[in-house]
């Protein structure tokens, strides 16, 4: 039977229920137990002949003359139910037989018994339709395999694949554990604008939208950083935000244009203190969620037991490929990269060249957790300079499993220096770099009122969950990932991503 025919048949069954005086979509539901409770208490409830009511989705039906079996599933589990003519009456049995299909939701009342084949079963004495599904479950509902359908129609994926539901339950546990850890440390959660007049706080290409009433273009935020630092100026000493960010970038296995990040800012703290806290925070969250500090990801066993090595950016590159970036100008760096057969964009600025060199030689080979620290100033316009060498800034990234997990730094709170850095970013924009940062005068004014010494930290939640659940694509940990509209061709997925974990 075609899907169109199936839809029509089910629609007719819904009408038949109405004709029989039965609402196929009632609002009132009675349920005094969940399937998981029934399975856990099966022996005791069987002995007590306990009468109970459960509700859920019909997954399969099996008809044997005047006896019908079905598998009923709710969030907590699946159990077999049995209907007989003697148990529910002939009219009710015929209605179930003729008008109920897999995917429908029903409510059943009954008691427990074990079949001759040893199957734990509910003997139904009464049932009620809750929702008539007009479309069937995916073919072979126990294992939907089509990747495109899984991402585009995630609800079918969740119905079909228990392991997918488990991934998103772990995601929920990760977010809860991070929030509780920060709350316990005395942080306060706040909310900052998603629609922003200036997109700031990261190096990324923003989405633009127009506000009709104000007749002004706004940007979907690429990061909450500048607003959160303004909160610190205003007197919040420990503040965080967990929410969606939006970057108009390419799509690949580790990038989605809409993603979730956690950022926090801690007054009177520097980046060394944040490295200590990061080890404590992440190792405790991983252990709480998984029961161990060891993670299996992409074929590797990664141990998040602290402490983790701390290696300077320039030392990591020199150790990896022999190039000492100290004192190298752009042309000399390009020459050295070509000698190492590293692909080079001659139009890129020095900061991007450093980033490409680092990705190729360091990040792509690092499995175990490591802090890469003290980045070239060209790579970070919002961090304090290193006091022993102002060519570098007090920034670190955590690398594990060949992924950038998070970024943090001692925040630049000198408004004069910050303005000069923004002006440098503006020059890059004028030269054609649409990922360079804007000058944010409101933020500069805020800095002029005084930002105490502060350290800031940002992590992409999606990549973290990818690692903890051993998923190969970021789409597998985002319930509804960004996809090109069905039937509309686009080259968006071939655009190069911007790898920035913050």
CATH number of the CATH domain containing 123: 2.40.50.140
* Contact status, residue 336 vs residue 313, Cβ threshold 8 Å: no
CA atoms of 91 and 357, how far apart (whole Å): 74
The alpha carbon of 192 is separated from its chain's Cα centroid by a whole number of angstroms, namely 20
**Encoded tokens for 307:** 């402490």
For residue 140, what pLDDT is reported? 56
**Encoded tokens for 253:** 């296995």
For residue 404, what pLDDT is reported? 95
For residue 4, what pLDDT is reported? 64
* Residues forming a β-bridge with 408: 396, 457
**Encoded tokens for 461:** 């939640």
Please indicate, yes or no, whether residues 481 and 387 belong to a single structural domain of this protein. yes
Answer yes or no: is 357 within a domain. no
Please indicate, yes or no, whether residues 301 and 380 belong to a single structural domain of this protein. yes
Cis bond before residue 307 (omega within 30° of 0) = yes
| Torsion sign, CA atoms 391, 395, 399, 404 | negative
Distances in Å between the Cα of 377 and the Cα atoms of 206, 381, 395 are: 23, 7, 9
The alpha carbon of 40 is separated from its chain's Cα centroid by a whole number of angstroms, namely 32
**Nearest Cα to Cα of residue 428 among 337, 492, 353:** 353
Please indicate, yes or no, whether residues 282 and 404 belong to a single structural domain of this protein. yes
What is the CA angle 471-477-483, rounded to 5?
A: 110
Answer yes or no: is 344 within a domain. no
Please indicate, yes or no, whether residues 68 and 168 belong to a single structural domain of this protein. no
For residue 151, what pLDDT is reported? 92
Please indicate, yes or no, whether residues 10 and 77 belong to a single structural domain of this protein. yes
> Burial level of 130, CB count in 10 A (0-12/13-18/19+)?
buried
* Contact status, residue 196 vs residue 245, Cβ threshold 8 Å: no
Residues 6+ apart with CB under 8 A from 452: 232, 237, 267, 268, 413
The CATH number of residue 196's host domain is 3.30.930.10
CA atoms of 53 and 219, how far apart (whole Å): 51
Residues 6+ apart with CB under 8 A from 282: 304, 398, 405
Instruction: For the chain, 502 residues long, give each residue's pLDDT as a single digit of tens.
Output: 666 699 999 999 999 999 999 999 999 999 999 999 999 999 999 999 999 999 999 999 999 989 999 999 999 999 999 999 999 999 999 999 999 999 999 999 999 999 999 999 999 999 999 999 999 988 754 456 678 888 999 999 999 889 999 999 999 999 999 999 999 999 999 999 999 999 999 989 999 999 999 999 999 999 999 999 999 999 999 999 999 999 998 899 999 999 999 999 999 999 999 999 999 999 999 999 999 999 999 999 999 999 999 999 999 999 999 999 998 999 999 999 999 999 898 889 999 999 999 999 999 999 999 999 999 999 999 999 999 999 999 999 999 999 999 999 999 999 999 999 999 999 999 988 988 999 999 999 999 999 999 999 999 999 999 999 999 999 999 999 999 887 655 444 444 443 444 4
What is the CA angle 206-209-213, rounded to 5?
A: 145
Please indicate, yes or no, whether residues 300 and 413 belong to a single structural domain of this protein. yes
Answer yes or no: is 75 within a domain. yes
For residue 150, what pLDDT is reported? 87
* Cβ atoms < 10 Å from Cβ of 341: 8
For residue 357, what pLDDT is reported? 96
- Confirm whether pTM is higher than 0.95: no
Please indicate, yes or no, whether residues 25 and 101 belong to a single structural domain of this protein. yes
Answer yes or no: is 171 within a domain. yes
Please indicate, yes or no, whether residues 260 and 378 belong to a single structural domain of this protein. yes
Domain boundary among 102, 137, 172: 137
Containing structural domain, residue 466: 158-308+368-494
Q: What 3-state class would DSSP assign to 220?
A: strand
Please indicate, yes or no, whether residues 98 and 12 belong to a single structural domain of this protein. yes
């Amino acid at each position: 039977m075609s899907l169109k025919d199936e839809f029509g048949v089910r629609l007719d069954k819904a009408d038949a229920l109405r004709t029989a005086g039965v609402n196929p979509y009632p609002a009132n539901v009675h349920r005094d137990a969940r399937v998981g409770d029934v399975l856990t208490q099966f022996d005791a409830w069987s002995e007590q002949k306990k009468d109970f009511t459960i509700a859920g989705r019909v997954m399969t039906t099996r008809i044997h003359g005047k006896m019908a079996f079905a598998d009923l599933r709710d969030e907590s589990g699946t159990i077999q139910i049995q209907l007989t003519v003697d148990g529910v009456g002939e009219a009710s049995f015929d209605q179930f037989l003729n008008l109920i299909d897999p995917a429908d939701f029903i409510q059943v009342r009954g008691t427990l018994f074990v079949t001759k084949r040893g199957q734990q079963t509910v003997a139904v004495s009464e049932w009620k339709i809750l929702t008539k599904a007009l479309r069937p479950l995916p073919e072979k509902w126990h294992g939907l395999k089509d990747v495109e359908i899984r991402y585009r129609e995630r609800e079918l994926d969740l119905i079909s694949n228990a392991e997918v539901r488990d991934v998103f339950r772990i995601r929920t546990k990760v977010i809860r554990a991070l929030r509780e850890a920060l709350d316990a440390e005395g942080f306060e959660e706040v909310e900052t604008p998603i629609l922003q007049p200036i997109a700031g706080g990261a190096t990324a290409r923003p989405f633009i939208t127009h506000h009709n009433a104000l007749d002004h273009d706004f940007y979907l935020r690429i990061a909450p950083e500048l607003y959160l630092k303004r909160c610190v100026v205003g007197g919040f000493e420990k503040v965080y935000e967990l929410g969606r960010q939006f970057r108009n970038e390419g799509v690949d296995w580790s990038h989605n244009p809409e993603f979730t990040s956690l950022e926090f800012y801690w007054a009177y703290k520097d980046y060394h203190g944040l490295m200590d806290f990061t080890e404590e925070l992440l190792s405790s969250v991983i252990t709480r969620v998984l029961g161990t500090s060891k993670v299996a990801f992409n074929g590797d066993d990664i141990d998040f037991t602290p402490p983790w090595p701390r290696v300077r950016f320039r030392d990591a590159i020199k150790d990896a490929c022999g190039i000492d970036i100290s004192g190298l100008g752009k042309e000399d760096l390009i020459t050295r990269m070509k000698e190492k057969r590293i692909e080079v964009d001659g139009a890129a600025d020095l900061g991007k060249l450093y980033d490409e060199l680092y990705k190729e030689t360091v990040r792509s080979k690092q499995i175990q957790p490591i802090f890469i620290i003290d980045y070239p100033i060209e790579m970070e316009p919002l961090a304090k300079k290193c006091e022993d060498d102002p060519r570098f800034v007090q920034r670190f990234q955590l690398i594990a499993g060949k992924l950038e997990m998070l970024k943090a730094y001692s925040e630049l709170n000198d408004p004069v220096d910050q303005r000069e850095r923004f002006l440098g970013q503006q020059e890059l924009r004028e030269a054609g770099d649409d990922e360079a940062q804007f000058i944010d005068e409101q933020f500069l004014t805020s800095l002029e009122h005084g930002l105490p010494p502060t350290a800031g930290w940002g992590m992409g939640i999606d990549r973290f969950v990818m690692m903890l659940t051993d998923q190969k694509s970021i789409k597998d940990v985002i319930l509804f990932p960004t996809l090109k509209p069905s039937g509309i061709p686009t080259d968006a997925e071939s655009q190069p991503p911007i790898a920035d974990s913050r």
